[in-house]
Amino acid sequence: MEECCSAKPKKEYQRHEGHNHDHSHKTGDQSLFRMFLPAIISFGLLLIGIVIANFIKAEWFTGWIRLVWYFIAYIPVGLPVLKEAFESIKNGDVFSEFFLMEIATVGAFAIGEYPEGVAVMLFYSIGEVFQGMAVTKAKTNIKLLLDQRPDEVAVLKNGKPETVKAEKVNIGEIIQLKSGEKLGLDGELLSETASFNTAALTGESKPDTKMKGDPVWAGMINLNTISQVKVTAAYKDSKLSKILELVQHATAQKAPTELFIRKFARIYTPIVAFLAIGITFLPYFFVESYQFRDWLYRALIFLVISCPCALVISIPLGYFGGIGAGSRNGILFKGSNFLDLLANIQHVVMDKTGTLTEGVFKVQEIHFNDEFNKKEILNLVNALESKSSHPVATAIHEYVGEVDHSLQLDNVEEIAGHGLKATVNGKQLLVGNLKLMDTFNISYDINGENIVYTLIAVAYNKKFAGYLTIADTIKADAQLAVNKLKALHVKTTMLSGDKASVVMHVANQLGIANAYGDLLPEDKVNKVKDIKARKETVAFVGDGVNDAPVIALSDVGIAMGGLGSDATIETADIVIQDDMPGKIPMAINIGKQTKKIVWQNIILAFSIKAVVLILGAGGLATMWEAVFADVGVALLAILNAVRIQRMKF
């Protein structure tokens, strides 16, 4: 019973949750009429019965005829629930909501309240269908939001476009994309330039201009001229496929609130069942004019009210909505538990490069000692940096040009937090920061503190050759992100392996009080440990690969650059697809709003149920109030839960 809210297909649901009931009711395969047909039949027969008994007042409509009539009306809505109750008992879950509803309605028949018995099951079944529709819609919205892949693509064969199934296209083949068409596979742009709508991936509808050689991804929409793309990943390995898989499994990791409600339901439901038995029989010993029928009726009302369906359906639906709201804005949550964690985040620790800055470096200055040939050294540096994927390497490559592949580099080694080392023609080549020079006892005649930009020092043949400076630019919405975090009363800290002067320069521009540079990966870990030692909940925002130790240590790991690195999607708890730091406070706000709605539903359900339970036990509530306390509250909670999917953050 407590897992009644799943939107998973039944077989998958059984495998993961150990229960066989789901609220989806395969709504994608059935028309609305077919889903409501049992309820329509029951409602029609119930209505006719009430008219015959209360308005026409036919004398023949009594005894076994009346019983059979209402029994036939009961079958369309009662039989499916009876089957679910039987399956639940078979799986060891005796006190399921289905069992409670069957006992309550069969009991109503036993005391001659046939119309009420039918009505309770009728409205319960209608509520079940609505709940199933809401869950299925939430899940479908999430999937449709992202699953923008066309089934077919135009592959160039002998210079002519030929329509082929996207899943059969091989890596290296060339796709032709017309204006307005969606790209079906990940690839590399062969055309000189092209503009794309990336809303399916990033939540941003503004055009994104790509240049020749830039990576492009499945789901992007070509906005202008015909473009050609060389496929770089199979259909099943595309970024969009990985994102879809992530979202489809996002609900597997449950939030503490969900887990609590499930545990609570396991205890709550049998207690209520035994209380109902007590309500039926205990008054015999204390009430003078004890009437078994009256107290049984009260107990049956009590059972109907006790169904915790409003809780176990609306709470997961609220988290569905939160995950969907995030997906719509280009923020992917790996589980509803991270929505809860983000809602309580007190401190956001951010990497500098690629998070708050563009990560697009450009060479600013070059200073080499006269004894070295500038062109020769630059070619050596370019060849060594080509072994790295760091943004600095890209900047140097763009400045120097094509790599001289005739240069033989041996023993290439990347030293974390320092730079690169290699052997060329038997001579040692070092490219990195001044700490790298210190490590290899290379003396230099410059003061790094006086240089604002990022400094790349070069040593060749155990002599200091000189340095380059690299500059990065702050992202357009970085300032807004920091301001919004402050408005949410969330502390901010910036950590970077970049030189301290550069880090402080960026921090001062953004108004970040706590900023630290010249950090190795283990230094970042220690800084986060210091924050956690103050009992503060921490979210770390970085690239998800180089900062893996810090992400593992933090309460929530947020990856920038979800479109740039497969490993990012694998390692982070939350992925911000368009690299916009403004999405960090947005993600926190989505978490806060989701938690707020979930607790609104908990309070609503408990409050109304508590009131009607007391009224029912005291004989002041009928089956109609009981139906409202169960189905009515569930529907109100569902309407509240789906609100988050329409919110703007």
Q: Which residues are catalytic?
A: 351
Length of the chain: 649
Q: Are 514 and 532 in contact (CB under 8 A)?
A: no
What secondary structure does DSSP assign to 44-96, as a single string? HHHHHHHHIIIII--TTSSHHHHHHHHHHHHHHHHHHHHHHHHHHHHTT--S-
Cα–Cα distance between 313 and 523 in angstroms, integer? Answer: 45
Burial of residue 454 (CB within 10 Å: 0-12, 13-18, 19+) is buried
Which helix (H) or strand (E) segment holds residue 396: the answer is helix 391-400
> Comparing C-alpha atoms, which of 257, 314, 316 is closest to residue 638?
314
Cα–Cα distance between 327 and 332 in angstroms, integer? Answer: 5
Q: What end-to-end distance do the CA atoms of the chain give, in Å?
A: 34
Strands, sheet with 463-471, edge to edge from the N-terminal-most edge strand: 362-368, 463-471, 454-460, 427-432, 419-424, 409-415
Q: Are 495 and 507 in contact (CB under 8 A)?
A: no
Is the dihedral angle over the CA atoms 342, 343, 345, 350 positive or is it negative?
positive
> Comparing C-alpha atoms, which of 227, 146, 149 is closest to residue 188?
227
Q: Which residue has the tokens 């017309």?
A: 178
Q: Are 132 and 23 in contact (CB under 8 A)?
A: yes
Structure tokens belonging to residue 310: 């409003």
Coil, strand or helix at 604? helix
DSSP alpha helix (H) spans, 189-335: 199-202, 239-248, 256-281, 292-306, 309-328
Cα–Cα distance between 588 and 258 in angstroms, integer? Answer: 19
Structure tokens belonging to residue 506: 């960026």
Question: If you ran DSSP here, which 8-state letter would residue 22 be given?
Answer: -
Question: Cα 156 to chain center, whole Å?
Answer: 37
